Structures are given as C-alpha cells and as structure tokens.
Amino acid sequence: MKKYLFTFLIALIIGFFLSNFFLKQYDDFEGIKVTGIGENLYFVQYGVFSSLESLEENTIALQNYVYNKQDNLYYVYVGITKLEENAKKIVNYYKNLGYDAIIKEFGITNKDFLELLVNYDEILKNTDDETAISSIINQVLMKYEEVVISGG
C-alpha cells in the first residue's frame, strides 16, 4: 500500500509543477488570448415584442433604439454602457419620460465599439443634464448600429 501512496504523491507533485509551468507560459503569451477578448456591457431594455409590427407601434415615441430578434421575440434596447451607475442613470432618464426600462448584461467583443464607449461613458457619468443624457444615449445607439450591427 505504501508503494502506491508514494507513487501517487510523486505523480501529484510532478503534475502540480507542470501545470504551473504551462500556466506561466500562457500568462507571458503576447498574442490574442481566447478569453478576455470581450467585455460585459449594460443594455437598457425598453421592452419585448412578439412581432415587428408590435415593436414599431410601441416605439414610435422613442428617438432611437436598437433591437435584437431572438426566439421569435423582438428585444428593444434604448441604452448601452459599460458602467452600472450609467445604466441606472439611463433607466431613471426613461422613467422620468414615463417609460419602464430594465438593465440586462451582455458580452460584446467589438473592440472598436468598446473603445468608443469609454468616452461616452465618461461624459455620461459626469452629467445630470437631461438634454446631454439624451444626446449621449442617441450617439451611443447610432455608433452601436454603425459599428456592431452594420459592421462599419
């Protein structure tokens, strides 16, 4: 029994050192890592609709929005941000206008959009002016449509 225990402990120790060696090699890797490419963003969802016609009827009063079709449902988003405090600010903006909105979190991998969003988030974080908030929200949604959806 002792013979097997000693062999098991040696194999465990060798495995530990080999795994550390390979993990350190990965940390020093300067190419594109598969993990960590994207970031989670906060999407402010306005509603979910069963048809495109219903979506269009219920979003007439909105200045700008993007939507996603998933499982035959249309999800409408009226704001996108990296910061949770900004997402709450956008929700409050729409509540003040009389609309209900909720926050959803999704991963985005489009590097260009993520870089653009940093500047918009900084401005949004530092303002309480509703006109400025509206303008920033619309700019972000237009950039999302242009860069992510259209691929431009």
Single-letter amino acid, residue 35: T
State pLDDT tens for residues 89-101.
999 999 999 999 9
- Cα(138)–Cα(140) distance, integer angstroms: 5
Q: Are strands 39-49 and 66-70 parallel, antiparallel or unpaired?
A: unpaired
* 3-state percent helix, strand, coil for the chain, nearest multiple of 5: 55, 20, 25
More confident residue, 108 or 21: 108
- Cα(90)–Cα(135) distance, integer angstroms: 12
The confidence score (pLDDT) of residue 34 equals: 40
| Average pLDDT for 77-87 | 96
Q: What is the mean pLDDT of the chain?
A: 85
The confidence score (pLDDT) of residue 29 equals: 43
More confident residue, 34 or 85: 85
Strand ranges (E), 17-116: 39-49, 66-70, 73-81, 102-108
pLDDT cut 70: percent of the chain above it: 83
State pLDDT tens for residues 56-79.
999 998 889 999 988 899 999 999
